[in-house]
């Protein structure tokens, strides 16, 4: 049996959660004060995901870079591939919030969208 300690990030309470694992299976979850904590802990130990936030180069814009993020969380083990692709990408002004800058980043099926406006 393996015991993993986590801090829940679903709300400001930051519960200390203990997950007991038997191989790849979750045996028990304790320390959470709500069901969201248990769901978070189970997902975090079996298939962790993260939303990636960064910037992409802008050509012909009022600024050189635009802030962006993945539209959905990506598998944690794909973050470096996602960043490699984002770093090789540029877009052309104007850019609006929600514009899709990359349709399918690193073959994840997840888009990268702008989170700021950039004018010409």
**Residue carrying the six token digits 């930051």:** 14
* pLDDT tens, position by position, 36-69: 999 999 999 999 999 999 999 999 999 999 999 9
The bridge status of strand 25-30 relative to strand 65-70 is unpaired
* pLDDT tens, position by position, 87-114: 999 999 999 999 999 999 999 999 999 9
Structure tokens at 12: 């400001």
CATH of 53-114, one of 3.40.1280.10, 3.10.530.10, 3.20.19.10, 3.10.580.10: 3.10.530.10
């Amino acid at each position: 049996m393996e015991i993993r300690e986590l801090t829940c990030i679903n709300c400001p309470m930051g519960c200390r959660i203990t997950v007991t694992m038997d191989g790849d299976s979750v045996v028990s979850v304790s320390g959470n004060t709500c069901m969201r904590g248990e769901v978070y802990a189970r997902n975090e130990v079996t298939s962790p995901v993260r939303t990636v936030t960064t910037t992409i180069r802008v050509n012909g814009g009022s600024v050189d870079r635009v802030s962006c993020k993945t539209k959905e969380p990506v598998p944690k083990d794909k973050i470096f591939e996602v960043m490699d692709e984002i770093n090789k990408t540029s877009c052309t002004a104007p850019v609006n919030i929600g514009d899709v800058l990359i349709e399918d980043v690193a073959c994840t099926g997840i888009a990268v969208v702008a989170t700021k406006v950039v004018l010409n």
